[in-house]
Amino acid sequence: MVGVYYRPPDQGDHIEEAFLLQLQKASRSQALVLLGDFNHPDISWKSVTVSCRQSKKLLECTEDNFLSQVIDSPTRGHVILDLLVTNAREIIGDIKIGGSRDHGLVDFAVLRHKGQVKSKFKTLNFRKLTSKCSRS
- The confidence score (pLDDT) of residue 56 equals 93
* Whether pLDDT at 42 is above 50: yes
Residue 86: CB atoms within 10 A of its CB come to: 22
* Whether pLDDT at 132 is above 70: no
Highest mean pLDDT among 38-42, 45-49, 52-56, 64-68: 64-68
Number of domains in the chain: 1
- Domain around 126: 2-135
pTM of the shown model: 0.71
CA dihedral over 97, 98, 104, 110, signed as positive or negative: negative
Highest mean pLDDT among 5-14, 104-113, 122-131: 5-14
* Whether pLDDT at 10 is above 60: yes
